[in-house]
Amino acid sequence: MTALKNDRFLRALLKQPVDVTPVWMMRQAGRYLPEYRASRANAGDFMSLCMNPEFACEVTMQPLDRYPQLDAAILFSDILTIPDAMGQGLYFETGEGPRFKKVVSTLADIEALPIPDPHKDLGYVMDAVSTIRRELNGRVPLIGFSGSPWTLATYMVEGGSSKDFRKTKAMLYDNPQAMHLLLDKLAQSVTSYLNGQIMAGAQAVQIFDTWGGNLSAAAYQEFSLAYMRKIVSGLIREHEGRKVPVIMFTKGGGLWLESIADAGADALGLDWTCDIGEARQRVGNRVALQGNMDPTVLYAKPEAIRTEVGRILASYGKGTGHVFNLGHGITPEVNPEHAGAFLRAVHELSAQYHE
């Protein structure tokens, strides 16, 4: 494998010195880019982009070609590939978000769920990872990812996106044993899926716990964090002679940072509701931090974006251990030039915080 030309993203996650603060954006390959919309039209639809490694590679590279400041690439795929491989029948209704043909409602439904084999059932993702690694040729590291068991369970039980998670919460409180069985099967599936991505060439992995923040403090520990801890303890942590850092991102997890920091990951993703300087004090030396600009700041003008980047950098303060990102994914309405202003501001304004 070619040596990495830019490894500041991996170095910051491991709290090793860097020259400037590394930066990438959640959902950096997506609908705000006209070139992405053209590729999607060419492929037919979103899932065809995910399932064809050449298309997945093409759209992964688009933001990197447009923005030379990006310090990492992220696999183009979706968290819902796992439930799809479990036989739930994923499809996307235009403008409606993800849907499943089958929903999980009973203990019998859960008992019948298979644990997917990453190579047999999700081979298209493994192929996308190795194709992208080859195309990157050492330019920047490649991030693999998965959803957290809790976040995946919400989509499987609701049959799609939800505002209140009515069915999932009812199952959690009415039938905790069934919920635990579902989460346990998902944790096993996620562990082998992420290990498959690491063996195929992913150089860091992120677990997206998008809906963990919707749980009570007690339920978060028992139904989300416990399963992410289990996954992290089963991951391959070194490959190709380098550490493979793990990032845990619970949206809305700001109240629980101390316990998330103890769950075994190398870094925590922060949404924009917490102050990153305070978060740094709370987690101490245990983990690096990734985040955390409000993605809607990108609707403002470049000067205002630059001010906000400066404020977050100052709050984090001097030294390594910070990967700059948005607090959640970039939205389709953002002007691509504003994203460019954001990325440039991070590198330009952060040099002063590093030796």
Q: Which is nearer to ligand CP3, 33 or 232 (CB)?
A: 33
Q: Which is nearer to ligand CP3, 46 or 256 (CB)?
A: 46
Which entry of 32, 36, 67, 155 is annotated as an active-site residue? 155
Lookup: tokens for 203 = 């150089």
Query: At closest approach, how far in Å is the CB of 84 from ligand CP3?
Result: 11
Q: Residue number with the shortest CB distance to ligand CP3?
A: 210
Return the number of other C-beta atoms located less than 10 Å from residue 301's C-beta.
Answer: 11
311 assigned to active site: no
Q: How far is the CB of 40 from ligand CP3 (least distance, A)?
A: 5
What is the C-alpha to C-alpha distance for residues 230 and 196, in angstroms, rounded to an integer? 17
- Of the candidates 31, 66, 242, 286, the residue annotated as catalytic is 31
Active site residue 40: yes
Considering the complex, state which of residue 168 and residue 210 has its C-beta at the smaller distance from ligand CP3.
210
Q: How far is the CB of 282 from ligand CP3 (least distance, A)?
A: 23
Q: Is 30 annotated as a binding residue?
A: yes
DSSP sequence for 86-148: III-EEEETTTEEEESS---SHHHHHT-----HHHHSHHHHHHHHHHHHHHTTSS-EEEEEE-
Number of separate helices (H) and strands (E) present in the chain? 17, 11
- Measured in degrees and rounded to the nearest 5, phi and psi for residue 277 equal -65, -45
The least CB distance from residue 209 to ligand CP3, in Å, is 9
Locate 78 and state its tokens.
Answer: 């979706």
Exactly one of 8, 11, 36, 78 is catalytic; which is it?
Answer: 78
CB 30, min distance to ligand CP3, A: 4
Residue closer to ligand CP3 (CB basis): 12 or 330: 330
**187 CB neighbour count, 10 Å cutoff:** 21
Residue nearer to ligand CP3 on the CB measure, 97 or 317:
97
184 annotated active-site: no
3-state secondary structure of 71: coil
Give the E-state strand segments of 33-74 in sequence order: 73-74
Catalytic residue among 27, 66, 242, 286: 27
- Binding residue per annotation — 328? yes
Is 78 marked as a binding-site residue? yes
Residues that bind ligand CP3 (CB under 6 A): 26-31, 40, 46, 74, 76, 78-80, 97-98, 145, 147, 161, 208, 210, 329
Q: How far is CA 24 from CA 43, 191, 282, 343, in A?
A: 25, 24, 24, 8
Picking from 296, 146, 272, the residue whose alpha carbon sits closest to that of residue 213 is: 272
Tell me which residue has tokens 């399932």: 51
Q: Which residues are annotated as a binding site for substrate?
A: 27-31, 78, 155, 210, 328
Q: Which residues are catalytic?
A: 27, 31, 40, 78, 155
Residues at the annotated binding site? 27-31, 78, 155, 210, 328
